[in-house]
Chains A and B, each alone.
Chain A
Amino acid sequence: MFEVMKFEWAGRSGLIAFRSSQSFVCCLISALTKAGTTKTCQPIKIIMFALVANQKVVRDWPCFGVVLGGSFLPRGGYTVLLFKMQFMLLFSRQGKLRLQKWYVPLSDKEKKKITRELVQTVLARKPKMCSFLEWRDLKIVYKRYASLYFCCAIEDQDNELITLEIIHRYVELLDKYFGSVCELDIIFNFEKAYFILDEFLLGGEAQETSKKNVLKAIEQADLLQEEAETPRSVLEEIGLT
């Protein structure tokens, strides 16, 4: 009925039991224990893979209810949609990273590997090519502005065209803030680039759709920062008084 095998993922191990039918593969993943421990696993999560046309989606669906080893009755049986920005990278034509924002938990090693591979892949693309490419099981949306590549990784069902708009909106915000922004601005004021991004996107989703409001908020936050720092003068800080 169910095939069972052990697997390791992100430093933890678990059991996976799966069964497939014509339209879906159903997987039960047991509690993930830290690798090395020998806790008996109870099935507490279900991850359903729905194979419909060319789509492969992953979703946790605890309400399905399951009988391990027995028969399994799915509910509905429709595709589950995934929309999420997993990460955004900014890098130069030479492959130097200028900004990295990760919305999924990955180890430093994994992040480095992904960055390296993706940067290579995108830099190898010719100028007239599509802004979209499939990479691993993600969709990559990228656009080049002067010497910087803005690159987003989105999940299967996301709308690539609106992601391009999101990238464009971010560039506009940077441009308005720095006044005709260039790569050097982002290098020397990288923390500002992050602050602006964090005022525009939250958890990978757009939080404010008005350009004006984002810029206003940044302005206010900067003022607050200035106030927090004014008790000591700059000269004092660097020990000149």
Chain B
Amino acid sequence: MSGSSNIIAMKKVVQQLRLEASINRVKVSQAAADLQQFCLQNAHQDPLLTGMSSSTNPFRPQKVCSFL
């Protein structure tokens, strides 16, 4: 019985490798260019990257309210 379960396990490995070998891949230069484009396109909307002034930062230091 253990023989057939070894075969089943091996069969799974081969099926998995066949699946992985058959996928379509693109060149790294293409993929890298796309990653870079995404970054640059969204850079101005990234508050941590561009920095925010204290007045617009929702986590600005808490100001104490006082009655005048």
To the question of whether A and B form a pair in one complex, the answer is no
Point out residues on A near B: beta carbons under 8 Å.
none
- Chain B contact residues, CB within 8 Å of chain A: none
